[in-house]
Amino acid sequence: MVQKDVMQINARQTRTIWLAEDGSGDVEVLDQTRLPHAVEIVRLRTLDDAVRAIADMQVRGAPLIGVTAAYGVCLALREDASDEALAQARARLLAARPTAVNLAWALNEMATAVQDHTQGARSAIAYARAAELADEDVAACEAIGDHGLGVIRAYAQRKGGGRVNVLTHCNAGWLATVDWGTALAPIYKAHRAGLDIHVWVDETRPRNQGASLTAFELGQEGVPHTLIADNTGGHLMQHGMVDLVIVGSDRTTRTGDVCNKIGTYLKALAAEDNEVGFYAALPASTIDWTLTDGLAQIPIEQRGTEEVTHMRGRTAGGDIVTIEIAAPGSPAANYAFDVTPARLVTGIITERGLAEASEAGLLELYPERAGVDAPKSRFGFMKGRITAPDDFDDLGREEIEALFNGES
Ligand code: MRU
């Protein structure tokens, strides 16, 4: 049985996504572009609303993107439950953001749930399956928390019960999932278990998910933490001020390569150089069993360069404003994710336990995936353009490639 609404804002327990209480079938989400300065709820009424919420990052974080996409299918099917509408919804949602595999995973789950049913039955089945996916995400994240607690306990014991310092990057907390989080779930569990824990929070340029979301979450839960500029981690590790790093992931290959927010790889390099444990915490929905080489095969999202040249924040007067921080017209680039090779990953914390970052390690926890073929190439990273995966042929390969490449 899933515990309802574990994390909280202003002492009120909440999730990141839920069905509107008026029974309309509309979906409500916390608008993460407004945090930490304002807690605002956005109502999603249509497929367009769901696509926009994902693309504009009102919702973000791999697991939450997946569940939002699932509800996006519901919103589409309640208007039109035909095969064509289902295919169009999948294609549009899939194209909203390319890196987090939870999106494609959730869309496949939804299609599998509804496709063999009559059009009249599809909408209700879709809503039921989306609710299950949300609850399953909460359960998986809580289990990640329990297994990760074991990891943190081991570090605490090694320090004779002294304070454990964890460094994290981006936001892989409850705001990135439905509840609990991935990288932060073990931290919440440790804090609630009474362990002395402190978190170094990377600000995470360019969108500052660490500063605006992770620090906010940890503050709401009362977990001791310190916000640091992105380039600080290496220095802290050199001086013994970090015991372990825990990050989330947007896509992890079957061989244990971990794709996560840009800058994660540099933290892993610094951790390796300083013999600091580097862990990725993720549910099975983040593992892409078809991929064997993260660097070659994972599509890396490139976002608008204004996210680099500009910053958003609150003025002393309370207004939320965007300011330019670069010389006007400066060329900029905005790669949203990078890949940390498995050799730099100490362990992968999953809902089934702690795995070695390798194919053998992951298959030990997920033996049912042993028979799944790993094609040589799924996505291509082609000069910033992305090609559609083979198993989406049924959706109209050309259409998906056009959507990915911004041609429609
Ligand atoms: O661009 P974002 O904010 O969606 O990126 C999020 C991350 O990189 C998270 O670390 C990842 O999705 C894991 S979330 C549990």
Q: Residue 150's pLDDT band (boundaries 50, 70, 90)?
A: very high
pLDDT at 401 over 80: no
β strands within 80-177, DSSP E = 164-168
Query: Ligand 1: which of 29, 54, 60 to mutate, judged by most atoms within 8 Å of the beta carbon?
Result: 60
Which amino acid does the sequence have at 22?
Answer: D
Q: DSSP class of residue 328? A: T
Contact 204, 168 (CB under 8 A): no
User: Residue 355 CB: number of other CB atoms within 10 A?
Assistant: 24
Does 214 sit in the ligand 1 pocket, CB within 6 Å?
A: no
Q: What does the pLDDT read at residue 271?
A: 98
Contact 327, 292 (CB under 8 A): no
Q: Residue 375's pLDDT band (boundaries 50, 70, 90)?
A: low
Does 210 sit in the ligand 1 pocket, CB within 6 Å?
A: no
SS3 category, 194 = coil
Contact 287, 254 (CB under 8 A): yes
User: Model confidence over 178-228: pLDDT tens digits?
Assistant: 999 999 999 999 999 999 999 999 999 999 999 999 999 999 999 999 999
- CATH of region 8-136+383-404: 1.20.120.420
Q: What's the whole-model pTM score? A: 0.91
Tell me what the mean pLDDT of segment 162-168 comes to.
97
pLDDT at 387 over 80: no
Tell me what the mean pLDDT of segment 379-406 comes to.
40
Does 205 sit in the ligand 1 pocket, CB within 6 Å?
A: no
Domain residue spans in the chain? 8-136+383-404, 145-375
User: Model confidence over 6-35: pLDDT tens digits?
Assistant: 787 877 778 999 999 999 999 999 999 999
Question: In this structure, what is the dihedral angle of CA atoms 202, 206, 209, 210, given to the nearest 10 degrees?
Answer: 10
Contact 102, 65 (CB under 8 A): yes
User: Model confidence over 270-283: pLDDT tens digits?
Assistant: 999 999 999 999 99
User: Model confidence over 350-372: pLDDT tens digits?
Assistant: 999 999 999 999 999 999 999 87
User: Which H or E run includes 92?
Assistant: helix 83-94
Contact 299, 266 (CB under 8 A): no
For residue 209, report the distance from its CA to the centre of ligand 1, in Å: 9
User: Model confidence over 286-345: pLDDT tens digits?
Assistant: 999 999 999 999 999 999 999 999 999 999 999 999 999 999 999 999 999 999 999 999
User: Model confidence over 66-110: pLDDT tens digits?
Assistant: 999 999 999 999 999 999 999 999 999 999 999 999 999 999 999
Give residue 249's Cα distance to chain centre. Answer: 6
Q: What does the pLDDT read at residue 11?
A: 73
pLDDT at 58 over 60: yes
Q: What is d(CA 365, CA 256) in angstroms, rounded to the nearest whole number? A: 13
Does 63 sit in the ligand 1 pocket, CB within 6 Å?
A: yes
Q: Residue 282 CA: which ligand 1 atom is closest? A: 15
Does 253 sit in the ligand 1 pocket, CB within 6 Å?
A: no
- Catalytic site residues? 250
Q: What does the pLDDT read at residue 10?
A: 76
Q: What does the pLDDT read at residue 379?
A: 44
Does 184 sit in the ligand 1 pocket, CB within 6 Å?
A: no
For residue 337, report the distance from its CA to the centre of ligand 1, in Å: 9
Q: What does the pLDDT read at residue 6?
A: 79
Q: How far is CA 285 from CA 31, 125, 126, 339, 391, in A?
A: 23, 21, 18, 18, 17
Give residue 400's Cα distance to chain centre. Answer: 22
Pick the CATH number of 145-375 from 4.10.640.10, 3.90.76.10, 3.40.50.10470, 1.10.300.10: 3.40.50.10470
Q: Residue 336 CA: which ligand 1 atom is closest? A: 1
For residue 259, report the distance from its CA to the centre of ligand 1, in Å: 10
